Amino acid sequence: MANTQRAQFSSRLGFILAAAGSAIGLGNIWGFPTQTASNGGAVFLFIYLLMVFVLAYPLLIAELTIGRYGNANPVRSLSAVSGGQKWIGRLLGLVGLLGATGILSFYTIVAGWLVGYMVSPLLALTGFTDAAAWLESFSETRNLALMLCFMVPTILVVRNGIANGIERWSSRLMPVLFLLFVIMVIYILFQPGAMEGLKMYLIPDMSHLSPGLVVSAMGQAFFSLSLGVCVMMVYGSYLSKTANIPKTAAQVALLDTGIAFIAGLLIMPAMFVAQHNGVAIYSEAGALLSSDTLVFSVLPAMFDTMGTAGIFIGFAFFLLMVIAALTSAISLLEVPVACATEEFRQSREKAVWWIGGLITIASAVIVYNFGDLFGLVVTVTTEYAQPILGLLFALVAGWLWHRNEILKELVQGSPELGETWFWKIWPGYVRVICPILMLLVFGWDWI
């Protein structure tokens, strides 16, 4: 097999930026803060952190390790670790691949809106008011056009491969993202009204604690760490054998969680700054406005109240979101592309265009059947497929894969691993505790 010359990330930092680039996305900057806002502030934050460290982190290690061991696309890697039951691995790989394409097909639509909101104020400033208004109005043609504007760069980055495409762009864009973030947070925290949002974010309101909240926090943790749809597995397959997986995974998880936390420091205060500037942030029923209303009406309305400065701040904010979305979208596209290049022995160039084309068609179908399909695809892929597949990957690693093989894979990057507490705990933990915890979370909600 061509595995000996298989592509690799060129450095450990490059891998961390790419994996963190996948993890840090709309889930952090939009999903996490809005969920926190409507779920009792710090209560959600606390349960979320618990879910990340208790469930998501161990499973992230499992996905990365399976991928690196297989040194191949997820379908093949999963079958390589499935012992005598290769078909189980192959099947799970295929379902994961479908999950990744499903997520990408709705993700590009949302990312397209962000592109629209990024460009619209600039068009308004230069006198193209009609075009600016069109970009902010909801229509099928607009959704389609903007989705294409986002899909094409995603395809182009993946076409250039691992080191020259994914790694290079993640390494360029992630520092810009961090910088924009810091500037925005500092700016917002000094605006009148910000402290009220900060209080709501950091002071827990225990009345919100419920099984539903725990399930949401778990789903959010899986989505945020890009688990369950083979993304981390395919990135793991390009990771050097000398990298220490538990440590690298911890760095990725910390970056991702850190950015989610900081996004809360940005969005929650921003809502109350908006209110201070006369923008409504509560619905008539008294509930805090959430998700799309927040990002697509409250925040732009706040930027409007800030005059010319608001135009640039608005641009920076949406640029930040677009960058975060792009580094996630490329990781999603890499999953089917890696499978096609290896399974059908196609060139990357060819695979990326036909697969990108098919996903674009799927997105277009969602655009034209928005009411029926959008919510459905989001729910099926993120609320069901991600946690359930994440759990099944853990079961494969825990029950079908030989413990000694796992150790052999892990010690390559950390020779002392066999003696550490990590190795005493992790295998049994992934085998027994993770599945039980997940079933408890689901079960508690269903009862």
Task: Look up residue 338 and give its DSSP letter.
Answer: H
Residue type, 199: K
Number of residues that bind ligand PHE (CB under 6 A): 15
In the stretch 186-225, what mask flags binding to ligand PHE with x, by CB under 6 A?
-------------------------------------xx-
| 223 vs 401 by CB, closer to ligand PHE | 223
Give me the residue label for tokens 């700054």: 273
Q: Does 226 bind ligand PHE (CB under 6 A)?
A: yes
| Cα 298 to Cα 372: distance, rounded to the nearest angstrom | 26
- Shortest distance, position 91 Cβ to ligand PHE, whole Å: 19
Pick the stretch among 17-25, 49-57, 242-250, 314-322 that binds ligand PHE (CB under 6 A). 17-25
Enter the tokens of residue 311: 């135009």
282 has which bridge partners? Answer: 288
Residue among 331, 360, 363, 414 that touches ligand PHE (CB under 6 A): 331
User: Which of 252, 246, 230, 334 is CA-nearest to residue 17?
Assistant: 252
Q: Does 35 bind ligand PHE (CB under 6 A)?
A: no
| Cα 212 to Cα 216: distance, rounded to the nearest angstrom | 6
Q: Does 34 bind ligand PHE (CB under 6 A)?
A: no
Helix axes 211-224, 386-395, angle to 10 degrees: 70
Residue among 21, 27, 89, 314 that touches ligand PHE (CB under 6 A): 27
In the stretch 227-266, what mask flags binding to ligand PHE with x, by CB under 6 A?
--x-x-----------------------------------
User: Which of 281, 320, 226, 299 is CA-nearest to residue 27?
Assistant: 226
Give me the residue label for tokens 């928005």: 370
Pick the stretch among 3-11, 23-31, 195-203, 424-432 that binds ligand PHE (CB under 6 A). 23-31
- Shortest distance, position 56 Cβ to ligand PHE, whole Å: 11
3-state helix, strand, coil in the chain (%, to 5): 80, 0, 20
Pick the stretch among 22-30, 59-67, 173-181, 196-204 that binds ligand PHE (CB under 6 A). 22-30
Residue among 95, 332, 351, 389 that touches ligand PHE (CB under 6 A): 332
Task: Look up residue 127 and give its DSSP letter.
Answer: T
Pick the stretch among 45-53, 145-153, 160-168, 327-335 that binds ligand PHE (CB under 6 A). 327-335
| 237 vs 331 by CB, closer to ligand PHE | 331
Residue among 14, 21, 25, 96 that touches ligand PHE (CB under 6 A): 25
User: Which of 42, 373, 72, 53 is CA-nearest to residue 208?
Assistant: 42
Determine contact, residues 69/77, Cβ cutoff 8 Å.
Answer: yes
Report CA-CA distances (Å) from 321 to 25, 124, 176, 317, 354: 7, 20, 11, 7, 27
Q: Does 154 bind ligand PHE (CB under 6 A)?
A: no
In the stretch 81-110, what mask flags binding to ligand PHE with x, by CB under 6 A?
----------------------x-------
| 256 vs 422 by CB, closer to ligand PHE | 256
* DSSP notation for 11-24: SHHHHHHHHHHHHS
| 331 vs 414 by CB, closer to ligand PHE | 331
Q: Is 117 exposed, middle or buried (0-12, 13-18, 19+ CB in 10 A)?
A: buried
Pick the stretch among 24-32, 144-152, 188-196, 345-353 that binds ligand PHE (CB under 6 A). 24-32
Pick the stretch among 164-172, 277-285, 328-336, 359-367 that binds ligand PHE (CB under 6 A). 328-336
| 132 vs 218 by CB, closer to ligand PHE | 218
288 has which bridge partners? Answer: 282
- Shortest distance, position 74 Cβ to ligand PHE, whole Å: 12
Give me the residue label for tokens 């909600």: 445
| 154 vs 341 by CB, closer to ligand PHE | 154
| 119 vs 255 by CB, closer to ligand PHE | 255
Contact partners, residue 423, CB within 8 Å, separation at least 6: 407, 410, 417
User: Which of 300, 281, 299, 264 is CA-nearest to residue 35?
Assistant: 264
Contacts with ligand PHE by CB under 6 A lie at: 22-23, 25-28, 103, 223-224, 226, 229, 231, 328, 331-332
